[in-house]
Amino acid sequence: MAKLYYRYSAMNAGKSTLAMQVAHNYEEKGGSILVWKPKIDTKGDNTIVSRIGLSREVDALLNEFASPIEILKEEQKNKQIDAIIIDEAQFLTEEQVNELYYISKKMDISILCYGLRCDFRMKPFPGSQRLLAIADSIEEIKTLCECKKRKATQNLRCINGIPTFEGSQVAIDGEDNITYKSVCGECFIKYYLEWKNNKPLTRERKK
Ligand SMILES: [Zn+2]
């Protein structure tokens, strides 16, 4: 039977590259796939972009109200679908992940989701929380921290290159001077303490 897969990692571990490689592997063997991405990820518009230069147009951008089952049924009118590959799956809603589970079990189509585990404050995204709870197969894609001592497990948000630990959950890499670094837990705590100790008092009082 088909499975719902979640392959997660910190940022910049090559998730999009892997997603495109898997898509290529399916197609090389004559498989028919769909590639989706949540619409909230504005990076690359309607394409998946990897840092090593690969890109691929998606078959659908899912807004928060989109129904994976309905989109799939439309696509199935034209062709048989063997698998669905979803990048930035942390941005899916809980209901969308529930539908993906249904698709894998009742429609026998494998779903391969790629995404983050948690945000820059170590809090889960709705999509990743649900995927980690119900996916049939959960696999970590490993990458190295900048300290080169340990694997990166956390996402450090920087504004103009300076780490920050406040702000909205979703802020896309490369927009509004925001960038991300993937770091190990030890480095994450080190940056957090530096930020906390250097925080201007005015910001403390607002809370
Ligand atoms: Zn480190």
Choosing among 3.30.450.20, 1.10.150.20, 3.40.630.30, 3.40.50.300, the CATH entry for 4-206 is 3.40.50.300
CA angle in degrees (0–180, nearest 5) for 87-31-57: 40
Cα–ligand 1 centroid distance for 148 (angstroms): 6
Contact 19, 144 (CB under 8 A): no
44, containing H or E segment: none
pTM summary value: 0.91
Cα–ligand 1 centroid distance for 15 (angstroms): 20
Q: What is the pLDDT of residues 162-206, one digit of tens each?
A: 999 999 898 877 777 899 999 999 999 999 999 999 876 555 545
- What's the Cα-to-Cα distance from 181 to each of 120, 164, 188, rounded to whole Å? 10, 11, 10
**88 is an active site residue:** yes
Name the catalytic one among 27, 70, 88, 146. Answer: 88
Cα–ligand 1 centroid distance for 120 (angstroms): 15
Average pLDDT of the residues in 127-148: 96
pLDDT given at position 200: 65
207, containing H or E segment: none
Q: Which residue matches tokens 């769909």?
A: 34
Q: What is the pLDDT of residues 54-101, one digit of tens each?
A: 889 999 999 999 999 999 999 999 999 999 999 999 999 999 999 999
Nearest partner of 70 among 107, 32, 115, judged by Cα: 107
What is the rounded distance in angstroms from the CA atom of residue 200 to the CA atom of residue 207? 12
Q: Which structure tokens are listed for 111?
A: 């779903």
pLDDT given at position 207: 47
Cα–ligand 1 centroid distance for 152 (angstroms): 7
Top-confidence residue, 35 or 44: 35
What is the rounded distance in angstroms from the CA atom of residue 161 to the CA atom of residue 152? 18
